[in-house]
Amino acid sequence: MLLPLFIVIGILIKADSSGPVFYKQQRVGLNFIPFFIYKFRTMVQDADKKGSQITAGGDVRVTRIGRILRKTKVDELPQLINVLKGEMSFVGPRPEVEEYVILFKDDYNDILKIRPGITDISSITYRDEEGVLRDRGNAEEYYKTVLLPKKIMLAKEYIMKSSTVYDIKLLMRTVIRIFLPVKNTE
């Protein structure tokens, strides 16, 4: 059903900048098993080699169409491939890159007992994470020392409250937050 949308987005991405339509990045999943997460490419080709793994608002690596895809969260749709492959679920703690998982390994021992998800409490709370990081002197350091610990706390909260009803509520809150965004107050 989403194939026509994927084709249109692919054409827009290719018209806007050179490089592949999809971006894949290794993340750590269930039981610390690495996998590649899929997204629509929203940055210039090889952006991960040209800067931090963290993207703050105003990052010059983000393409014109990429700004729109990120703002609308459409760039996340290819993660449905990860769901179909069994690497992710619709709701669950967001998967992180290995570098950050290693920093908080004790916490991730608990978090990675369940499958990561496309959305969770932190996705809703920090919908505009780039905006939160925009005015930080060192966005990556702020992410590691302030934002990631808060996201870990929210992931643990999700695990404690996890149920089908709670997942449905989070899915509904995610959809509402996409269509009615509010500015993060960090």
Q: Three-state SS across 14-50?
A: HHHCCCCCEEEEEEECHHHCEEEEEEECCECCCHHHC
Using one digit for the tens of pLDDT, what is the confidence trace for 25-46? Answer: 999 999 999 999 999 999 988 8
What is the predicted pLDDT for the residue at 46?
A: 80
The verdict on residue 156 lying in a domain is yes
CA distance 46 to 59: 14
pLDDT band at 183 (very low <50, low <70, confident <90, very high): low
Q: Does 117 score more than 70 pLDDT?
A: yes
User: For the chain, what is the domain count?
Assistant: 1
Give the dihedral of Cα atoms 156, 83, 81, 16; nearest 10 deg. Answer: -30
CA distance 170 to 18: 36
Report DSSP state, residue 126. Answer: T
- Quote the pTM value: 0.87
The verdict on residue 142 lying in a domain is yes
Angle subtended at Cα 144 by Cα 60 and Cα 74, rounded to the nearest 5 degrees: 50
The verdict on residue 184 lying in a domain is no
User: H/E element holding 117?
Assistant: strand 117-119
Using one digit for the tens of pLDDT, what is the confidence trace for 119-177? Answer: 999 999 988 888 888 888 888 999 999 999 999 999 999 999 999 999 999 999 999 98
The verdict on residue 186 lying in a domain is no
The crossing angle, in degrees rounded to 10, of helices 164-179 and 148-161 is 140
Return all residues near 112 (Cβ < 8 A) that are at least 6 apart.
28, 29, 30, 31, 32, 101
- Domain hosting residue 8, numbered range: 3-179
Contact indicator for 30, 93 with CB cutoff of 8 Å: no
Average pLDDT of the residues in 69-74: 90
Tokens of 62: 């983000």
What is the predicted pLDDT for the residue at 98?
A: 96
71 vs 154: which has the higher pLDDT: 154
Residue 45: Cβ within 10 Å count: 15
**Residue 132 corresponds to which amino acid?**
V
Using one digit for the tens of pLDDT, what is the confidence trace for 163-173? Answer: 999 999 999 99
Sign of CA dihedral 89, 92, 94, 100: negative
The verdict on residue 12 lying in a domain is yes
The verdict on residue 158 lying in a domain is yes
The verdict on residue 162 lying in a domain is yes
Tokens of 78: 């290819």
What is the predicted pLDDT for the residue at 186?
A: 53
Find residue 23's DSSP bridge partners.
Answer: 39
The verdict on residue 9 lying in a domain is yes
